[in-house]
Amino acid sequence: DAGITQSPRHKVTETGTPVTLRCHQTENHRYMYWYRQDPGHGLRLIHYSYGVKDTDKGEVSDGYSVSRSKTEDFLLTLESATSSQTSVYFCAISVTSGSLHEQFFGPGTRLTVL
Amino acid sequence: QQQVKQSPQSLIVQKGGISIINCAYENTAFDYFPWYQQFPGKGPALLIAIRPDVSEKKEGRFTISFNKSAKQFSLHIMDSQPGDSATYFCAAGGYNNNDMRFGAGTRLTVKP
């Protein structure tokens, strides 16, 4: 998984509670991403980061915030979880290979919001 | 609004056959087209990718065919094996891939 770990791997929480998911990488890659995966939608980008304290919104950012205080860690926070945020969340990093910027994914976090 | 449309949703192929998955994109600014393979409980793994300056790229049994004028690209898996049974995702993105869009996925089953 390209040196990417995600924690927790599984979480069940209740509507209205805050949740933070962590992505950790060991190879000092500049770009990091958070995606969610839902049946029939493939993967959709939530937020991404292009450096420490540099982040931007993706396609489905509403209800999510992120932070990156260290190169190796990228946190995704659901301030007040809703049932529509039940999903599998994947972190990814981007690696430059020649002219390509290839994305590699972590193992995922399965989040259930009751 | 799905910017990358993938078909079929599911595909069953006999061992040794050819698996073909198709994708169409809308945004002409896309210039990077990867395919990912995902097994249950795992993250997607990069399989093969192409830039629009070539019409075909082959790596082992996997080939991407790219048609820029039609805004379509496809994955061909030759001599399909049961171990290829997985979900496959196409994607399309710009230079930095900060706005990569994924297809909905194709569940491939290769029967022995």
| B39-59 average pLDDT score | 93
> Which residues of chain B make contact with A44, given a CB cutoff of 8 A?
102
pLDDT in tens, A39-48: 888 999 999 9
User: Given a cut of 90, is residue B66 above it in pLDDT?
Assistant: yes
Count of CA atoms in the C-beta half-sphere (13 A) of A85: 29
User: Given a cut of 80, is residue B58 above it in pLDDT?
Assistant: yes
| Identity of the residue in B4, B36, B43 whose CB atom sits nearest the CB atom of A108 | B43
Q: What is the pLDDT of residue B2?
A: 67
Q: Tell me which residues of chain B have a C-beta less than 8 Å from any C-beta of chain A.
A: 4, 6, 32, 34, 36, 41-46, 49, 51, 89, 91, 95-105
Task: Centre a 10 Å sphere on the Cβ of residue A50 and count the other Cβ atoms it contains.
Answer: 14
Alpha carbon distances (Å) from A60 to B39, B66, B84: 24, 28, 31
| A93-110 average pLDDT score | 87
| B28-45 average pLDDT score | 93
Q: Predicted confidence band at B99 (pLDDT cuts at 50, 70, 90)?
A: confident
Q: Tell me which residues of chain A have a C-beta less than 8 Å from any C-beta of chain B.
A: 1, 31, 40-45, 48, 50, 56, 58-59, 90, 94, 99-108
Q: What is the pLDDT of residue B1?
A: 59
Out of A27-31, A76-80, B8-12, least confident range? A27-31
**From A97, which residue of chain B is nearest by alpha-carbon distance?**
B49
| B84-106 average pLDDT score | 90
Q: Predicted confidence band at A95 (pLDDT cuts at 50, 70, 90)?
A: confident
Give CA–CA dist A47/A76, Å, rounded: 8
User: Given a cut of 60, is residue A50 above it in pLDDT?
Assistant: yes
Q: What is the number of H-type helices and E-type strands within chain A?
A: 0, 11
